[in-house]
Structure 1
């Protein structure tokens, strides 16, 4: 059977990330490269104030760096994946580890992506909400009744995320909670994965226009279409599409299962994707448990 590495998106950041990931051998090298490319101290931000770190333009390169280091360490002790995929921002990490572009290009792109997303709509004008335990058909019908509201993430059978104008999000959440449903407004800086971010998509298109994307080492199941893509020009097109369009994550997981994947490993900080897959009764692990298992095994062997 087959293995997929999956990479998390925004929301996986936390203050203290740099200290936690600095225990890995490859950390110093990639942290230095990241700071050199960005021209500021990302590491200080990763260990600093939570409010500063969660800004989109900071959170995205922070998660990318940590996830790339996690992949570098994991491949030393675990087999290579048959497929890769990333949730939203995580797709950029998946492209880097598959060799579509190098680490430096990726850290530059995710910083720019964060900046352009932040510029697309004034803070406070857009928001997102997670809906739990409501059928997707019901959510799709309800969303159409609100101005400037869209489905942003098809995360799982249980969880869907809607995105759009703040006032519509608040009304939407109020309606669901008053009717005994679970809906929670998220602490985010904008309406991700909606047409409101079209200006960000256009600016990112200008950024990637002159970057040569290479054939990936591993097929990438992409957010925008929930199927594996290997053609570099198609990859470039679809990674831009997901900025202002929905993330078909559940459909991407379903596609990988259909392709024979029976094991998923989340490669990055926190375990958001792992938890989601475990709730769906799928075989999912966090990269850290695999590294810890290897270290324990080596410790036992060395002690004999």
Structure 2
């Protein structure tokens, strides 16, 4: 039986994936994940926060409610966890898990480095850090052309703008996430204004992400320090399944040092760029999976993952068209949130 199973790498989504289109995502899972969802709801009630069930069962989607970090983080975690729990282990062998940005916290939970209590503590605490006011923000911008091939002129322009911004008073801009064919910037208000004014318009980009802070930049150093004060390393354990972090480093079940994992998660990962492209590239080259499985909610990472496959010329995928053709004939990327 095990020889017939597909070897898969599971990918956890990040912030911004629970949208108007995914409202009610948990309804099909309620019968199968009663204990898990009840546990989450109980913890949220104890913290005097809207429960996951209340948020998911809302009559309509509210940007002000559903996209706030203190609500979105746990809501996305619940959706991803339920999707993962539904995977048929007779059909799939999960060889590694990775994720984008907040998806690293979900990776820790799904791979077994955090139990239910620990996962809730980490995800809810980190998601609630901006409750008193969002620190900076994020702007996303494409670095490829319409065929998902590198646009070197655009890359050169962006590098020039970053150099220019470096010498400007009060302006702070940093690379935040390397997201396939996109670069996500993190910056303070003057930095974001500079980007929105200076980057040439490409379709609807540059685009500022709603209710996002300057994640994965030095602007969150204070957040990192607070996190280490509020979250104990005793919550962490060695993973049961290999994990790939935002540098492309692999954390293995037997060799993982828990203190190193703790300090990476609440230290480096918070204040330094998150290279999702590197994480997926390592997943491809080190584990050679039969498929990639993207957990829900939503499918917003689908394009970025496709672009990473193009960057690596993986299994004959050399541009957007060849990715689309492969997906129609024999999907390499399976998106559970579609």
Shift in Å, 1:197: 1.2
| Cα pair 1:3 1:82 within 8 Å, conserved | yes
Match of 1:233 in 2: 259
Measured against aligned partners, the alpha-carbon deviations of 1:274-302 in whole angstroms (never above 9, x if no partner) come to: 2322343462111357xxxxxxxxxxxxx
Match of 1:295 in 2: none
Shift in Å, 1:70: 0.8
**Gap regions ≥5 residues in structure 1:** 290-304
Shift in Å, 1:215: 1.6
Match of 1:152 in 2: 176
Higher helix share: 1
Instruction: Quote the Cα distance in structure 2 between the aligned partners of 1:212 and 1:193.
Output: 22
Shift in Å, 1:236: 1.4
TM-score where L is the length of structure 2 = 0.76
Instruction: Quote the Cα distance in structure 2 between the aligned partners of 1:50 and 1:181.
Output: 19
Match of 2:229 in 1: 206
Shift in Å, 1:243: 1.6
Aligned residue for 2:14, secondary structure, equals: coil
Residues 78 and 96 (structure 1), Cα distance of their counterparts in 2 relative to 1, 3 Å cut: farther
Aligned residue pair count: 284
1:54 aligns with 2:64: no
TM-score where L is the length of structure 1 = 0.84
Shift in Å, 1:267: 1.2
Instruction: Quote the Cα distance in structure 1 between the aligned partners of 2:19 and 2:131.
Output: 19
Which residue, 255, 263, 272 being the options, matches 2:282? 255
Aligned residue for 2:244, secondary structure, equals: strand
Correspondence list, 1:63-212, <5 A: 63-75=76-88, 78-119=91-132, 122-123=133-134, 126-132=136-142, 133=144, 134-135=151-152, 136=155, 138-146=157-165, 147-156=171-180, 158-177=181-200, 182-212=205-235
Residues 137 and 227 (structure 1), Cα distance of their counterparts in 2 relative to 1, 3 Å cut: farther
1:36 aligns with 2:58: no
Greater Cα offset, 49-58 or 206-215: 206-215
Shift in Å, 1:181: 10
User: Could you say what the CA RMSD is over the residues aligned between the two structures, in angstroms?
Assistant: 2.5
Instruction: Quote the Cα distance in structure 2 between the aligned partners of 1:94 and 1:149.
Output: 28
**Gap regions ≥5 residues in structure 2:** 1-5, 145-150, 166-170, 311-316, 318-322, 324-331
| Cα pair 1:265 1:274 within 8 Å, conserved | no
1:266 aligns with 2:266: no
Residues 78 and 11 (structure 1), Cα distance of their counterparts in 2 relative to 1, 3 Å cut: farther
Shift in Å, 1:6: 0.4
Aligned residue for 2:93, secondary structure, equals: coil
Match of 1:301 in 2: none
